Amino acid sequence: MKIKYLTLFIILSLSNINFLMAKNFEIPKGTKIFYESGIEKDRLDRKMNRLEKKRVEYILDTFLPNSPATILDVGGGMGVYSFYLSKKGYTVYLIDPVVLNIEEAKKNGETHKDFPLARYEVGDARKIDVPDSSIDVVLFFGPLYHLDEENRQIALKEAYRVLKPDGMILAQGVSKYCTLFNAYFDGKIKDQKMALEIKNTLKTNDLVYKSAKFYTHTPGELKSEIEDAGFSKVEVLAIEGLGKWIDDEYFEDERQREQLLEFLEITQFDSSIMGVSSHIMAIGQKK
C-alpha cells in the first residue's frame, strides 16, 4: 500500500513539474495588436531611427566576443540585428512572441541565404526553449519594454540560465524621460492630456503608446534589475544619447555623421547626460 501511494505521489509530482514547465505565458492584448500592425517593419531605416540602428550596430561590434559564437536574439522582431550578426559569422537563434515578426523574418531570410539564421521561433523571453549553459550571448532588445517587474526578473533569469559561464547579456530599456523630451521637441506638450500622461510616466515608469504599454527605466534602475537577476560587471550606456534631438542634417552629411557618432561614443557612459537618450542598454556577464 505504501509503495502504491509513493508511486502516486511521484506521478503527481512529475505532472506538476511538467505543468509548470509547459506554462504558456501570454503577451498583453494591446502589445500584440501593436506589433501585429507591422509597425516594426523598416522602422530602423526611417529617418528618425537610423541613428538608433547605427549605434546598436556599433555597440554590438565593440562589445560582443569574436565570432564564432552563439547568439540568442530574444524579442528580436523581424531579425534586423540577427541578420547583421549572422553576416559577421555568428550562429544566431531568433525568438519573438509575435507570429507576424517571425514570418517576416523568414521572408527576409530568403534574401539572406548566404548567411542564414540557425533558428526561427515564436517564443517568450520568460520560457526559452534552450538548454542550460549553451549560449554565448543573449540579446534582449525588446522584452524589458513590455513586461512588468516580476516578469522582467523571470525573463532575465531565463537568460542567465541559458548562458554559458562568463556569457554576456545585452539588454535594452526605454528611457524614463524620453516622452518628456519628445513632447517638448515636437510641441505635443501643449496638449494637457499629453502633459498628464507624461507626469504619470515620471511617477510610475509606465508609458502607453498607441495600444501598447511600455515600462521605462532610469539607468540606475536598469542596472539594478540586471544585477538582481545574478549578472555581474553590469554597465549601462546611452544608445542615441543627445543625437536623438538634433536635426537630420547631421546624419545626412557623412562628415557630420561620423563626428556625431564619435561624440556619442565619448559620452555613452556619462551618467550625467544618459537620461536624454531615448534608449539605454545594459551589458552584463554571467558569474
Predicted confidence at residue 48, as pLDDT, reads 72
Residues 147-174 have a mean pLDDT of 97
Judged against a pLDDT cut of 60, whether residue 21 lies above it is answered with no
Cα–Cα distance, 210 to 182 (Å, whole number)? 15
SS (H, E, C) 83-128: HHHHHCCCEEEEEECCHHHHHHHHHHHHCCCCCCCCEEEECECCEC
What is the amino acid identity at position 164? K
Q: Ranked by mean pLDDT, which of 28-42, 170-184, 235-249 comes out on top?
A: 170-184
- How far apart are alpha carbons 268 and 101 in whole angstroms? 30
The CATH architecture one would assign to domain 24-285 is 3-Layer(aba) Sandwich (3.40)
Q: What contacts 224, CB < 8 A, 6 or more positions away?
A: none
- Burial grade of 145 (CB within 10 A; 0-12, 13-18, 19 or more): buried
Tell me what pLDDT residue 18 has: 32
Q: Render pLDDT for 214-265 as a digit per residue (tens, 0 to 9).
A: 999 999 999 999 999 999 999 999 999 999 888 788 888 899 999 999 999 9
Q: What is the pLDDT of residue 24?
A: 61
Using a pLDDT cut of 90, give the percent of the chain over it.
Answer: 75
Average pLDDT of the residues of the chain: 89
pLDDT score of 70 more than 80: yes
Of the listed ranges 43-47, 87-91, 239-243, 276-280, the least confidently predicted one is: 43-47
* pLDDT (0 to 100) of residue 129: 96
- As a whole number of angstroms, the distance between CA 11 and CA 255 comes to 68
Q: Which residues of 246-272 are buried (b: 16+ CB within 10 A; e: fewer)?
A: eeeeebeeeeebeebbeebeebbeeee
| Bigger pLDDT: 109 vs 8 | 109
* pLDDT digit string, tens, across residues 129-147: 999 999 999 999 999 999 9
In the predicted structure, residue 58 carries a pLDDT above the cut 80: yes
Closest to 265 measured CA to CA, from 48, 54, 49: 54
Judged against a pLDDT cut of 90, whether residue 166 lies above it is answered with yes
Q: Is the pLDDT of residue 155 over 60?
A: yes
**pLDDT at 1 exceeding the cut of 70:** no
Annotate 14-51 with b (16+ C-beta within 10 A) or e (fewer).
eeeeeeeeeeeeebeeebbebbeeeebeeebeeeeeeb
Percentage, residues of the chain above pLDDT 70: 91
In this structure, are residues 265 and 237 in contact, taking their beta carbons and an 8 Å threshold?
Answer: no
The model's pTM is: 0.88
Q: At how many degrees (to 10) do helices 80-87 and 50-63 cross? A: 40
Count of CA atoms in the C-beta half-sphere (13 A) of 249? 1
What's the pLDDT score for residue 5?
A: 36
Whether pLDDT at 4 is above 80: no
Residue 86 reports pLDDT greater than 50: yes
